[in-house]
Chain A
């Protein structure tokens, strides 16, 4: 603008030079030009000032508008319409490749009497297979209840209902009541879905005493004490259809459970929880296949009472409690089962016929495992476990039935890669000595991914 005004002034002064008459005229002319120039320059600088002011005004108007927008903005629009109430849906996709050095056809745990259907559930598979892939649906039902359902799709193309329960969210005094089918609150791992476990398979003791994992149809009442230290008590009554119980057609309860948990923090970096649980079931005609002292294939049946005690503990450490980059988790459980009742020893068509007698056993097992996240996406884990065949008394059938003196054990090491919170790829090596005289060297490569609703960060 300034250049323009100078040029303008210069142009105006040209005619003045051309028509120069005398000094007075010239001076008058020059004065006139100077006046003109001053006038123009003033007007231009006025214009410039006005422009600067306008710009400033525009900026302040803009920021005022932004402020107004920020102030006026209400929370992000909530969805409307019927689907706004759609429940949370989550899908767990899981599959694996297994390479086993032993044929799983003969899978059993020496000295532990597992029904055939349980063995089918827990025995490993060779080659490629789906592992438990899960569909979960959950939501608050109303101001009083929450509900959830989990279907599990098994490798053999069957679907089972892992959980389907309703639960209160508004009872007073720290009480929570749950009804339906749910994973029992006993132990530490039992209540967690298998895709959150740190190893491909459940511990041996869970296989031997719970058939992998125990779910129950029934009711559960939990009470959380109003203390600064976490203290929780729970009681369950249920059908007890799954191992170690059996299905029954009777009024009343076939399985009851009691559990207590205590936990807290030690400083900012450590958290822990310990628990003690009791699961009491009354199996009726629980059958399993075995071979007797004469190596004859037999079928046995047990009716009576089964009590399983579980002591569990878990301790987690993360620097400043920030588990994003690194953490250590140490957990262990000890399970002890006491059974007593009647055992029918049936040598399947042999001339002797069935023989009924008393049965009493006390058996136990434990595992200890640790997981170390050494980099934000990488974890290693180590698990050691052992079962104690304990004392088994077949009463009058003691001579006919085998009581092997063998302690099944297993070691596993795993490495997993977690590119995000929603995906995991795991490699696991295990040396499984469940069967006397046989060592199964196992290699598993597994994926576990979740999509849909954000997973829960359970302790």
Chain B
């Protein structure tokens, strides 16, 4: 990669700068759920960095210097797609000087392409808010989506790093088996949630609702991506008189004020759900993420 004569020079000049792992496959995950999945499938053959954490709205991230540095050395970027990262991923691709992660290359992996997207708008207009033409991108809240992505991601890892192909495939098999059992378990636990009416801050839970049979009756945001206004919150409160809901739900990166306001007045609990892996103490990995999500929802019924 670096010419021999300038190598010592570089070593001297950048003594303070750690070089990224060279042995393992460098994976830049746009969101923590894909980072966790890449770790589960890649084990010690991958070195994973997550561009965002569960407390950051992945839509509103900037192409900050640390991300450019990571994108420069990435062998694979694993992102949600469906324009979730449209504000910053294209800049990383343009400015990182890394041909591997360009659109269409094996090193650019989009999870949303593998699942059935919900809320695909029939027409798009910004007066409808920050809508995603491809469909709702918050796919990580349905474990069946994770299963679909895991299959494709294991294949992609093998494509980029054929030497470890069987390793990735073995890891995938073990993961898929555990995951299938976990889904059955979660579905059993979550059976009482079916048909429960909820209010959400942002339309970030449609896949969870679809999976568990939750009924979304209102959103705190007047339009997707537009922060709650007091006028709209009052409307939601009035709507709840006619159509009661059991809880108001928000993600770890949403401002708490809207749901607390509504919780107090509508006398329903405000439930904070981890946006993804790392969003709570229990959500340490993908299994913990769904364990915790379901426990927090079940707590509403108690």
At the interface, yes or no: A250 with Cβ under 8 Å from chain B?
A: no
The 8 Å CB contact of A261, one of B57, B65, B93, B144, is B65
A143-B100 Cα distance, complex, nearest whole Å: 11
The 8 Å CB contact of A457, one of B17, B18, B61, is B61
User: Which A residues are in CB contact (< 8 Å) with B98?
Assistant: 174
Among the 9-residue stretches A348-356, A416-424, A440-448, the one with 4 or more Cβ atoms under 8 Å from chain B is A416-424
A434-B120 Cα distance, complex, nearest whole Å: 54
* Residue among B99, B103, B115, B134 with the highest chain A CB neighbour number at 10 A: B99
A272-B253 Cα distance, complex, nearest whole Å: 22
Interface residues, chain A, with chain B CB atoms under 8 Å away: 69-70, 73, 75-76, 140, 143, 146, 167, 169-176, 222-232, 261-265, 268, 271-273, 316, 319-325, 376-377, 419-422, 451, 454-459
Nearest opposing residue in chain B for A456, CB measure = B91
Indicate if the CB atoms of B65 and A264 lie closer than 8 Å.
Answer: yes
A261-B52 Cα distance, complex, nearest whole Å: 22
A265-B50 Cα distance, complex, nearest whole Å: 13
Q: Knowing A174-B98, A420-B226 touch, does A226 contact B1 (C-beta < 8 A)?
A: yes
Q: Knowing A143-B104, A456-B91 touch, does A70 contact B144 (C-beta < 8 A)?
A: yes
User: Which B residues are in CB contact (< 8 Å) with A419?
Assistant: 226
Indicate if the CB atoms of A454 and B83 lie closer than 8 Å.
Answer: yes
Q: Knowing A172-B99, A377-B227 touch, does A229 contact B69 (C-beta < 8 A)?
A: yes
Q: Knowing A322-B55, A456-B88 touch, does A171 contact B65 (C-beta < 8 A)?
A: no
At the interface, yes or no: B183 with Cβ under 8 Å from chain A?
A: no
User: Which B residues are in CB contact (< 8 Å) with A456?
Assistant: 63, 87-88, 90-91
The 8 Å CB contact of B63, one of A172, A228, A459, is A459
A41-B55 Cα distance, complex, nearest whole Å: 62
* Residue among B64, B96, B112, B134 with the highest chain A CB neighbour number at 10 A: B64
Chain B, 96-117, contact with A by CB distance < 8 Å: what is the 0/1 string?
Answer: 1111001110000000111111
* Residue among A226, A262, A455 with the highest chain B CB neighbour number at 10 A: A226
At the interface, yes or no: B86 with Cβ under 8 Å from chain A?
A: yes
A101-B72 Cα distance, complex, nearest whole Å: 50
* Residue among A171, A175, A271, A454 with the highest chain B CB neighbour number at 10 A: A454
Indicate if the CB atoms of B66 and A230 lie closer than 8 Å.
Answer: yes
At the interface, yes or no: B80 with Cβ under 8 Å from chain A?
A: no
Interface residues, chain B, with chain A CB atoms under 8 Å away: 1-2, 14, 16-20, 52-53, 55-57, 60-66, 68-70, 72-73, 83, 86-88, 90-91, 93-99, 102-104, 112-117, 120, 126, 129-130, 134-135, 144, 223, 225-227, 253, 255
The 8 Å CB contact of A224, one of B19, B69, B226, is B69
User: Which B residues are in CB contact (< 8 Å) with A324?
Assistant: 57, 60, 253, 255
Q: Knowing A174-B72, A457-B60, A458-B91 touch, does A230 contact B255 (C-beta < 8 A)?
A: no
What are 28 pairs between A and B in contact, CB < 8 Å?
A: A70-B144, A75-B112, A75-B113, A75-B114, A75-B117, A76-B117, A140-B102, A169-B99, A169-B102, A170-B99, A173-B2, A174-B96, A225-B72, A226-B72, A229-B66, A262-B65, A271-B64, A320-B56, A322-B56, A322-B253, A323-B62, A324-B60, A324-B255, A419-B226, A422-B126, A454-B83, A459-B62, A459-B63
The 8 Å CB contact of A227, one of B19, B55, B113, B255, is B19
User: Which B residues are in CB contact (< 8 Å) with A70?
Assistant: 115-116, 144
Nearest opposing residue in chain A for B223, CB measure = A420
A125-B95 Cα distance, complex, nearest whole Å: 36
